[in-house]
Amino acid sequence: MMRENGGVRSDDMCSHCLLPRATVGPLLHSPLATICQGCAQQAVERFDVEGVTGGEDPRRLEPQWQKVDDATLLRRIVDIADARDGVEDHLAEWVGRLRERGVSWARIGAALGMTRQSAWERFEKRR
Ligand SMILES: [Zn+2]
């Protein structure tokens, strides 16, 4: 669920560098993120760096968000909240499918690291 915000739609900007398509060119979309070619190339280069797993990487992605103004970052947290809501909806949908199979709230809760009661309260109310 993408939201209109200040002229640049959240699905019309790179979610890594936060720059609009008009600046960075074509974007590649995934369900929760969008990436421009420049950021994708930096990511591939980063994967190629030896020891990139866990350790300090001298070629870390440039923190481009530091160049972005407050209004853009405020819009970005709205996008992130929208993404969170989308994930919650998706999770509830799959929990519903498990319930249709007769899987107990206790098992669903255990899988999600919560009590049976917490799972029921969180998901049953959404149905
Ligand atoms: Zn980018």
Digit-coded pLDDT (tens) for 86-119 = 788 889 999 999 999 999 999 999 999 999 999 9
Compute, in angstroms, the gap from residue 119 CA to the centroid of ligand 1: 37
73 and 56 within one domain: no
Compute, in angstroms, the gap from residue 29 CA to the centroid of ligand 1: 12
24 and 3 within one domain: yes
Q: State how many domains the chain has.
A: 2
For residue 30, the model assigns a pLDDT of 82
Higher-scoring residue by pLDDT: 98, 1: 98
CB 35 within 8 A of CB 19: no
105 and 54 within one domain: no
pLDDT at 31 over 50: yes
